[in-house]
Structure 1
Amino acid sequence: MRTTRCGSTSAPCATPRSPRWPTRSARCDSLPAVAGKEAPEGGPRIIAVASGKGGTGKSLVAANVGIFLATLGRRVVVVDAAFGSANLHQFVGVPRPHHTLAQLLANASVPVDQVIVDTGIPSLGLLAAEGDPATAANPKSAQVNKLIARLRQIDADVVVLDLAGGTAGTTLDLFLVADAGVVVVVPEPPAVELGYRLMRAAFVRRLRKVGIGAAADFPADELRMYEGGIPSPIDIRDRARDLDEGLADRVDAEMRRFRPRLVVNMARSKADMALCGDLARAVQRRFGVPVDPLGYLEYDDAVSVSVRRRRPLLVEHPESRVARCLEKVARRLVGRDTAELPALPASPETYYDLLGVDPGATEEEIRRANRRVREVYGRDSLVVGALYNKSRLDDLHVKLDEAYETLMDPTSRKAYDQALFPGGVPQAARREDSDNALAAVDRAAPAEPAPPPRPSPPPLAPDTEFTGALLREVREAMGIDLRAIAERTKIGMAYLEAIEEENVRKLPATVYVRGFLVQIARMLQLDEERVVDTYLARFRRARAATQPG
């Protein structure tokens, strides 16, 4: 990278972008445009990368999506719009940018192209914010509006915005003006729940921008009824329908236009890899808006190594696992078309919609779908936190019970199908995975081998004594692998095996075993108190027998 002196210092500073930057006439038009709403004629496509909190890796995603698109021949500018907490320059390998975003905010006459610095990566420029004054952390609304207009004037194919974490008005405004808004989460409750909050807040902000914010003006005492204190899009629409049918129709139209993308970062387990699709389906069901799952990024030490060296990940470790994941995410982001998203479930959902199966599904497919949906919408699931309160989750479980019981009973299913499909059950072929965004993400996770035939469930009574062998029988009858319990409960495999084998020498103190049993009973849908009492009675007798004297 070419450098120059900054003021009186001798530290290297990035210069304005070099002649290597191609002119607009030289842009590569053979690549797909970023899917989403149309940008103004001649303007760049804008991708905004956001998160509900810091520490999710949104800067990593923003920087490397920009780098990857640049390697495809696109002219890209990455913009550090995390006002007051700028760090994007380090992810693209620029140590001390000479020009920053504050120059645009302070002086409307400064040409935007003059403050874009060269990153040393062909076709990639940086609009940095490092070293901006403290006042830049809270730009005024007028400044943000002018900045948005200036971003549309950048002479590039794609502009990638790295937004600040959270739901500040500036963040929401920039997220909403983007042609594609990406929400980054990690497989942890705070990140997922605040990601939901970001999507709720962005939709409310959207309604205010288009002049129908009154639909989201709920009384303060009523807001406490909703998860996170912000009603979901479907809550807003349903309430508006009780007040003004025309207003509800306008809210419904905005729901169909609001299309957040989703990325799960730092995926360590198979469950983490499937989380992106699970979250997307759950949000679509609860919010009533289309969500595009772009995929997951595997946890990889290459990230921390490249960050410490202040080098771009895709440049420093192009063959790493996380680099390959980033490339998949970037390709999906630029290759998606709105038509590829599956249709939102009808309201009310059919039993087939609830379980996520086709009307022609076999009994075994329905069983598998039921196990999967029970896991996703379990009370301790990462997916349901701040998405469903207890009452709504109870209602959903009742519907799932009804759906499963009806579809597994041949007589009930036949009567249901006749009422639902008077002209006969549709036999349309399923769409290919390549045409289905959600299936594409699910396919990205490692495929599971077909499970062996399951044994019949053991008989259980109120006075049943739960032994390790009986717990194993119940688990196997439900088709649950021991490793799945370990991933969900975070109990070590060695302890789970020792519980089923009743190997007391390998088990910890009684207080820990009690906690393990409670979690196992919940996952196996057993009476927690009965499991704990009967198993611990055997455990104490066996442990006493092993004590000397």
Structure 2
Amino acid sequence: MEQPEPQPQSQPQPELAGPIEEAELELPWVSGNIVGEALAYHGPKIWAVGGGKGGVGKSLVTANVSICLALMGHKVVSIDLDLGGANLHTCLGVPIPEVTLSDYLTKKVKSIGELLTKTPIPNLQLISGAQDDLGIANLKSMHKSKLLSNLAHIDADFVLFDLGAGTASNTLDFFISSNHGILTVLPEPTSIENTYRFIRSVYYQRLKMVEELLNIRPLIDQVMNAKLSGPKNIPTDLVQRVIDLDAVRGVKLRDEISKFRPKLIMNQVRTQADIDIGFSIKAICKRYFGIEVDYVGYLDYDAVVWQSIKKRRPLLMEFPSSRLVTNFDRIVHRLLTSP
């Protein structure tokens, strides 16, 4: 059954997943900066799937977006970065792998290629974090940089990160380092609230990195010390006040912040009202943060999800007639046309 386009009930449909300008920053990055590593990176495209809380379907989305890409003929590697709580292998129908990320980071294996595990889907391989203890969940900066830089040597067109829940440093850094940062949200108050918290955390993490690059910490402090108050005490107003103080560096700050353009997927929708939540999140992020959120689609609620997990079989392979097949196909095509 053909999935209808998401349509808000009381407003015209905004354009979904428009093209993004990804011009490289014309400034030297601070040595060891995770974003600097990403900009110098020329390997497979990285898509990172995150969310504000656990249980919103991050592994489901990572697994099935990976499968869609692989079935299109792309070489794909899915990496489970939910360190300390990895379960992506289950969604892909793979037994717990014998070698995991910790073996690479602790130098038990020499190359990242030794971690690749075959899946039942042609063109799709897995790097697992399963069985990794909680000690590895707090990666050092050098480990994150090492992982990113060595991804360039993987024979793949796309690498997908299945990130942990919440706003831990690892999660924020890997989300920022990706070509596409994809947020999975449930139409529930707790999920929506945590999504805003996640976006805010990523926004300020990126702001912190950019202010170091542009050497504008004194300008930021000057704005913050002015004790902004009232309805304009919002991120967009902060950037404008920096522009007022120093037009050149303020505009560069605004341009760098604008490159943060997350993608949004509403999961387990049952009604038009659930679908419309995605448009509300998009509008609020534009008004409050001054950033564009691409609402790339929604996933219908379908009981086959838990059935596939119980069977330890990939959803799209076990239930090819599910409405979710159409949902994922549309989402992936929108992601592919949003460079």
Is the Cα–Cα contact under 8 Å of residues 186 and 192 in structure 1 kept in the other structure? yes
Give the aligned residue type for 1:259: R
For normalisation by structure 2, the TM-score amounts to 0.81
1-structure distance, mates of 2:229, 2:52: 20
Following superposition, the deviation at residue 255 of structure 1 comes to 2.6
> Structure 1 residues 330, 226: CA separation in 2 closer, same or farther (over 3 Å shift)?
farther
Partner of 2:266: 264
Give the aligned residue type for 2:300: E
1-structure distance, mates of 2:220, 2:321: 47
Percent sequence identity over aligned pairs: 38
Partner of 1:331: 333
Describe how 1:189-208 pairs up with structure 2 within 5 A. 189-208=189-208
Which of the pair is proportionally richer in strand?
Answer: 2
Describe how 1:333-372 pairs up with structure 2 within 5 A. 333-337=335-339
> Structure 1 residues 186, 41: CA separation in 2 closer, same or farther (over 3 Å shift)?
closer
**What's the secondary structure of 1:79's corresponding residue?**
strand
Query: Can you give the 5+ residue segments of structure 1 that lack an aligned partner in the other structure?
Result: 1-33, 338-549
Partner of 1:287: 289
The answer as to 2:193 corresponding to 1:183 is no
Partner of 1:319: 321
Following superposition, the deviation at residue 103 of structure 1 comes to 1.6
> Structure 1 residues 222, 148: CA separation in 2 closer, same or farther (over 3 Å shift)?
farther
1-structure distance, mates of 2:183, 2:59: 12
Is the Cα–Cα contact under 8 Å of residues 80 and 127 in structure 1 kept in the other structure? yes
Following superposition, the deviation at residue 35 of structure 1 comes to 6.8
The answer as to 2:250 corresponding to 1:248 is yes
Partner of 1:238: 240
> Structure 1 residues 192, 150: CA separation in 2 closer, same or farther (over 3 Å shift)?
same
Partner of 2:26: none
Following superposition, the deviation at residue 87 of structure 1 comes to 0.9
> Structure 1 residues 268, 279: CA separation in 2 closer, same or farther (over 3 Å shift)?
same
For normalisation by structure 1, the TM-score amounts to 0.51
Following superposition, the deviation at residue 68 of structure 1 comes to 0.5
The answer as to 2:52 corresponding to 1:52 is yes
1-structure distance, mates of 2:226, 2:188: 29
Following superposition, the deviation at residue 285 of structure 1 comes to 2.2
**What's the secondary structure of 1:84's corresponding residue?**
coil
Give the aligned residue type for 2:246: D
- After superposition, the C-alpha distances for 1:389-426 in whole angstroms (9 at most, x for unaligned) are xxxxxxxxxxxxxxxxxxxxxxxxxxxxxxxxxxxxxx
1-structure distance, mates of 2:290, 2:172: 20
Partner of 1:174: 174
> Structure 1 residues 265, 220: CA separation in 2 closer, same or farther (over 3 Å shift)?
farther
2-structure distance, mates of 1:192, 1:270: 16
Partner of 2:6: none
Following superposition, the deviation at residue 182 of structure 1 comes to 0.5
Following superposition, the deviation at residue 242 of structure 1 comes to 4.7
2-structure distance, mates of 1:312, 1:223: 51
Partner of 2:135: 135
Following superposition, the deviation at residue 219 of structure 1 comes to 5.5
2-structure distance, mates of 1:287, 1:76: 33
Is the Cα–Cα contact under 8 Å of residues 41 and 152 in structure 2 kept in the other structure? no
2-structure distance, mates of 1:48, 1:290: 17
The answer as to 2:120 corresponding to 1:155 is no
2-structure distance, mates of 1:89, 1:123: 16
Is the Cα–Cα contact under 8 Å of residues 45 and 158 in structure 2 kept in the other structure? yes
Partner of 1:341: none
> Structure 1 residues 131, 159: CA separation in 2 closer, same or farther (over 3 Å shift)?
same
Is the Cα–Cα contact under 8 Å of residues 35 and 179 in structure 1 kept in the other structure? no
- After superposition, the C-alpha distances for 1:22-70 in whole angstroms (9 at most, x for unaligned) are xxxxxxxxxxxx9774876861000000101111111110110001100
**How many aligned positions are there?**
301
> Structure 1 residues 198, 221: CA separation in 2 closer, same or farther (over 3 Å shift)?
farther
Give the aligned residue type for 1:147: L
2-structure distance, mates of 1:219, 1:303: 47
Query: Can you give the 5+ residue segments of structure 2 that lack an aligned partner in the other structure?
Result: 1-18, 24-38
Partner of 1:62: 62
Give the aligned residue type for 1:63: A
2-structure distance, mates of 1:71, 1:180: 20
Following superposition, the deviation at residue 226 of structure 1 comes to 9.3
Following superposition, the deviation at residue 203 of structure 1 comes to 2.0
- Name the Cα RMSD after superposition: 2.7
> Structure 1 residues 42, 167: CA separation in 2 closer, same or farther (over 3 Å shift)?
closer
Following superposition, the deviation at residue 216 of structure 1 comes to 5.6
1-structure distance, mates of 2:236, 2:108: 40
Give the aligned residue type for 2:103: Q
Q: Which runs of 4+ in 1 moved over 6 A?
A: 38-41, 223-227
Choose between structure 1 and 2 for higher RCO, CA contacts under 8 A separated by at least 6 residues: 2
